[in-house]
A and B are shown apart, each in its own frame.
Chain A
Amino acid sequence: MLVLLFILFGGLAIGCAINVVAQRNPLYCAISLIGVFMSLASLYLMLAAPFIAAVQVIVYAGAIMVLVVFVIMLLNVEQEEKRRIRMGFLVPAAIALAAALIAEVSFLLAFVDSEPLQRSDIGLTRSIGPALFTQYLLPFEITSILLLMAIVGAMTLARRTGELSPRARVVPGDQMLALSEIDPTTSHEEPGTIEAHTTSEAARVLGITDLRDQTKRDK
């Protein structure tokens, strides 16, 4: 029964993985990759590691692949078109290296003796939880700092470059008016965006008393 399930999920994983590189539409590749992760989660379940299986689904299939799918959608990545294969020598090289890999794995499976793990509750949450905070505390904290570094790096890269004047503040959701829109006499050296919640507030900041008075605006 277990062997049957292993063949099913392993085959599904391999099939989806081949599909990832064989598809031309990038969204189909992403969906196939999600299929790979779900098959892997099922294989983890069969190895009596339910926590890892659940976390695999939550993190990989549920968060990382969502990000990838977002990127594909937002950037509107086009379908790959069929091209002539350049660097044709790579295909026989790939076949040779794949043969070497298969030979190594067969050798390992046939001749290397390994005992299966005896303890069966090592994958449960109640084993992982305490171990994560006592025995493996240092890797845990370092991983947290690594994630913090990634977040800070992303924020730094996505920040607007410092071309706005020190007076300008960008507040999402509130009105942002370009100074040259209201007062056409401003020069374009200083970008001069201002923060205002309504047009009348912006007018007040700029010292324009009556917005409806066209003569005053065109000064």
Chain B
Amino acid sequence: MDQVLDIILRFVAITVVFVVVLLVVAYTVLAERRILGFIQGRLGPNRVGYGGSLQPFADLLKFILKEDIVPDKSTRFVYFLAPVIATMAALMTMIVYPFGPEVTLPVIGSIQLVVARFDVALLYVLGITSLGVYGIALAGWSSNNKYSLMGGLRSSAQMISYELALGLSLIGPIMLAGSLDLGQIVEVQSAWHGTRWLIIFAPFSFITYLIAAIAETNRVPFDLPEAETELVAGFHTEYSAMKFALFFLAEYINMFTVSMLATTLFLGGWNVPFADVVFGRGTFLFALVSVIGFLLKVIFFLFLYIWIRGTLPRFRFDQLMSFGWKFLLPLALFSIFVTATAIFFFIGK
């Protein structure tokens, strides 16, 4: 009976997380269009609903109702499989992020605000991220289109190059927290009334992580593989309607995932400074404030993404690759070295 209740609770948790992710992603798309508009001196879409707030639903309707064109000579199975892999890899990482502290509810008891908490959560995230490369590579190849193939191969090469710097930049916080478990990493940052954020101790790792993550998600300034002016539309040229929507969705969910990982590892996760002094740990209000704080930090990172998109030009592909291998990888190694030295001398473990 207890196990059944546990499974039901997990299903509820997964549904809640799924809905939250989709809503946040839909409104991130709207926010991007509006903020980019303001950066570029124009208004974004603001006709549908107040200030454009129903625009995501209009877009969804459009995507569902569009004609679905499948190229004749494409490899059917792989062509249909690619967006599935991309979206699956983007969504599967959602289950390990802790949205808030453990909270004691009156009826159900004490619940953890994370879907699945296990030992190797960070390695799991890295593994699933590396599976996301397949979605893009297979999409580029199966479209039977030269532009798609070039875009797909370039994008895959870029992603696997920056995965190294990404993984290495995560070693700093892992060393500081002493665990791969994301819940444990956030709990380590609860010290000093919720201000002992790991970004204080590992700033180089943070910068490396941010740059590598922007490259991993194929965003400006690293978005040559899908740039509209360069390769028609890169690897998703031949995808229309719902399949294109799935790629689009996968990219924004990846952005969301990366922002959540940055928040969890560097910005203290759900720790709001001095919230435990005001509310007291374990209470419902503390949990509520923590969840809102977490979401605000994630929204800050999403805003940073959009801000960078509106400001910077894009890298040329060889500049991109040489930046990844010759600058970012040594910087990541250097950040590990600095963090390890600091731990050895100051924390003395």
Contact = CB atoms under 8 A, between A and B. Distances in A.
B62 interface: no
A58 B130 CA distance: 7
A46 interface: no
Nearest to B3: A1
Nearest to A124: B119
Contact of B127 (A58, A70, A74, A173): A58
A54 B122 CA distance: 9
A73 B123 contact: no
A31 B160 CA distance: 18
Interface in A28-53: 28, 31, 34, 50-51, 53
B133 interface: yes
Contacts of A58: 123, 126-127, 130
A50 B118 contact: yes
Contact of A27 (B78, B118, B127, B318): B78
B252 interface: no
A51 B130 contact: no
A61 B131 contact: yes
A70 to B, nearest CB: 7
B40 interface: no
Nearest to A69: B137
Contacts of B140: 73
Which range holds the interface residue count of chain B? 20 to 34
Main secondary structure of the interface of A (DSSP, over half): helix
Interface string B194-221: 0000000000000000000000000000
A4 B313 CA distance: 53
B78 A31 contact: yes
A79 to B, nearest CB: 10
23 contacts: A27-B138, A28-B77, A31-B78, A50-B120, A51-B120, A54-B120, A54-B124, A54-B126, A57-B127, A57-B130, A58-B127, A61-B127, A62-B131, A63-B160, A66-B130, A66-B156, A66-B160, A69-B138, A70-B156, A73-B137, A124-B119, A172-B318, A173-B319
8 nearest interchain CB pairs? Answer: A62-B130, A54-B123, A57-B127, A173-B318, A58-B127, A50-B120, A54-B120, A73-B141
